[in-house]
């Protein structure tokens, strides 16, 4: 049901379905990966990035699935989480998840590199800024 709602871009309804199903799915069931992934993307598409982050972080805490399709979804969750975190300015957190995803999909390396370069740029800007000597 949630997948149908998601594919029809009914994200609020889809997220309700997925989030309702999550507690009912056993930890080792490959559907749990799909439920967390889809719930996270549904929340992201609604603009609720913090809930999306929490759901996708929970996905990354699950054991890596053995089935090919579930494994693909699992690592897509890492990439989606990295993307959201990066867009939120949380580059170092994003890099952690993207590094894990590169083991499955070497194509993620490009996105990881962009994220790491942004972290370096941010770090170098902070180190070259003069201290604020003015009082309040």
Contact 53, 81 (CB under 8 A): yes
* C-alpha–C-alpha distance, residues 132 and 66, integer Å: 53
pLDDT number for residue 31? 94
* pTM for this entry: 0.84
Give the pLDDT confidence of 11-43 residue by residue, as tens digits: 999 999 999 999 999 988 989 999 999 999 999
For the chain, the C-alpha Rg in angstroms (whole number) is: 18
pLDDT higher than 60, residue 133: no
The reported pLDDT for the residue numbered 73 is 95
Question: How many residues would you count in the chain?
Answer: 136
Q: Which among 120, 67, 115, 125 has a CA at the least distance from the CA of 94?
A: 115
Q: What share of the chain is helix, strand, coil (3-state, %, to 5)?
A: 75, 0, 25
Within 10 Å of residue 33's Cβ, how many Cβ atoms?
Answer: 25
Backbone φ and ψ of 113, nearest 5°:
-60, -45
- For the stretch 59-64, contacts whose Cβ atoms lie closer than 8 Å and that sit 24 or more positions apart, written own/partner, are 59/33, 60/97, 60/100, 62/27, 62/32, 62/33, 62/36, 63/27, 63/28
| H or E element at residue 2 | helix 2-7
pLDDT of residue 96: 95
d(Cα 123, Cα 129) in Å, to the nearest integer? 10
Q: Residue 132 has what pLDDT?
A: 56
Residue 59's pLDDT band (cuts 50, 70, 90): very high
Q: Which residue has the higher pLDDT, 70 or 122?
A: 70
Q: Where are the domains of the chain?
A: 2-126
CATH number belonging to the domain at 2-126, selected among 1.25.40.10, 2.60.40.10, 3.60.20.10, 3.40.50.970 = 1.25.40.10
What's the whole-number mean pLDDT along residues 82-93? Answer: 94
């Amino acid at each position: 049901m949630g997948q149908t709602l998601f594919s029809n871009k009914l994200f609020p309804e889809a997220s309700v379905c997925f989030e309702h199903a999550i507690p009912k799915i056993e930890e080792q069931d490959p559907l749990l990966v799909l439920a967390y992934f889809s719930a996270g993307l549904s929340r992201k598409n609604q603009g609720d990035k913090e809930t999306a982050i929490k759901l996708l972080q929970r996905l990354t805490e699950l054991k890596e699935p053995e089935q090919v399709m579930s494994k693909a979804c699992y690592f897509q969750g890492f990439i989606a989480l990295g993307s959201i975190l990066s867009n939120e300015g949380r580059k170092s957190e994003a890099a952690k998840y993207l590094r894990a995803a590169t083991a499955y999909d070497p194509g993620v390396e490009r996105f990881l590199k962009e994220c790491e370069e942004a972290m370096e740029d941010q770090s170098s800007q902070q180190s070259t800024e003069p201290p604020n000597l003015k009082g309040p």
